[in-house]
Amino acid sequence: MREVINCAGIIKVEIPAKDNKPKRTAYLEVRFGSFMMNLSKNNIRHKTENLPNLPLYAVYVVEKDSLPEIDPLEWMLLFQSTALTRLLKKLLS
């Protein structure tokens, strides 16, 4: 089951001109949270091992309300440290 993570905040980013595209301002929704990754037991070297679940954190950023002729910015970052999550909470509060 996938948990829906609400938008934690919106950031404004100035996008410079590039490849005949004019500079523009993008408004990005930021979402972040934690989850457990279950490691696969299909790997022949690890089939008999009892592998622990891996705690991970994710930051997902997507541009909202971009012009129809522009591909919206979108990216996801996966990491193991809680430091970035703490920083995001501080920046977006």
Interatomic CA distance for residues 3 and 20, integer angstroms: 40
Residue 79 or 84, more confident: 79
Residue 55, H or E segment: strand 54-63
How many residues comprise the chain?
93
**With 80 as the cut, is the pLDDT of residue 14 above it?**
yes
State yes or no: pLDDT of 3 exceeds 70.
no
- Give the integer Cα–Cα distance in Å for 91 and 50: 39
Tokens of 15: 């996008």
For the segment 55-75, what is each residue's pLDDT rounded down to a tens digit?
Answer: 888 889 999 988 888 899 999
| pLDDT (mean) for 42-47 | 71
Least Cα distance to 13 among 67, 62, 59, 77 occurs for 62
Mean pLDDT of the chain: 84
